[in-house]
Structure 1
């Protein structure tokens, strides 16, 4: 990735709906040149997709929680999470715990129902999210020159 590609990726992270014409103006290239660079970034899977970021509160999911699991059956827990509508993210991790699950739900009662339903797969430890910050821009990691 050269500096132009980095700027393209940065701009698309800020606004995935930007037109190729507008993006071309920002990076000082022609529209066809920018379109070709974006296509190559997609082919290289640097750009994996374009997403709508939704307001969880407005989707009637104001309660977020991070649940740590010591799982008895990792595959069954993963399947349960994959099929549960409240699960936003599910990570299998190494260490004392085997899974980290992020859910967004509508009430303390529905959080309790999720915990009760998931206990057959292991021991949960629930952390209610009070506030959060998510990076909107991910810059490429640059290895230090030796």
Structure 2
């Protein structure tokens, strides 16, 4: 379980993972060494799983985003196809879902021709039976940040 100070540290790091320990320490009214120890503890516990740069997809010619439902013939609960989907270049996210499809995947491609090629690769997987793709016209919000500061805590109303 994390306490309020850990939550505040996580919110700061989600906003900018390059924030210095000294700046975090000032924000949470702690010594930098104490903040460093808390961050290391959060890493050891697996709360913080890594750090990454956010890249503007349009600056690296990956302007097209699409979401694809993937139907499979694998048994309920099996995720072998999901692991194969995760290995396909261009697939950003793979979610095992309830409903008529087994997976919902997020893909990025330079253009519709590249998306068609990507869907061919996915369609060649032996357990894939059908796909249904929706192309994104405009993204209003996209984030990997969790809503740590806005959710009620246990016991709060």
Q: TM-score, normalised by structure 2?
A: 0.82
Residue in 2 aligned with 1:42?
Answer: 43
For the pair 1:117 / 2:121, whether they are aligned, the reply is yes
For the pair 1:85 / 2:89, whether they are aligned, the reply is yes
Q: Distance in 2 between matches of 1:45 and 1:78?
A: 23
3-state SS in 2 of match to 1:131? coil
Shift of 1:110: 0.8
Once structures 1 and 2 are overlaid, which stretch shifts more, 134-143 or 57-66? 134-143
Contact residue 14 and residue 137 of structure 1 kept, 8 A: no
Residue segments in structure 1 that go unaligned for 5+ positions in a row: none
Residue in 1 aligned with 2:109?
Answer: 105
Residue in 1 aligned with 2:147?
Answer: 138
Cα offsets for 1:56-95 (capped at 9, x unmatched) = 1111100000000111246563344222211111111122
Residue segments in structure 2 that go unaligned for 5+ positions in a row: none
3-state SS in 1 of match to 2:138? coil
More helix by share: 1
Once structures 1 and 2 are overlaid, which stretch shifts more, 43-52 or 61-70? 43-52
Number of residues paired by the alignment?
A: 146
Shift of 1:20: 0.7
Q: TM-score, normalised by structure 1?
A: 0.88
Q: Distance in 2 between matches of 1:24 and 1:31?
A: 5
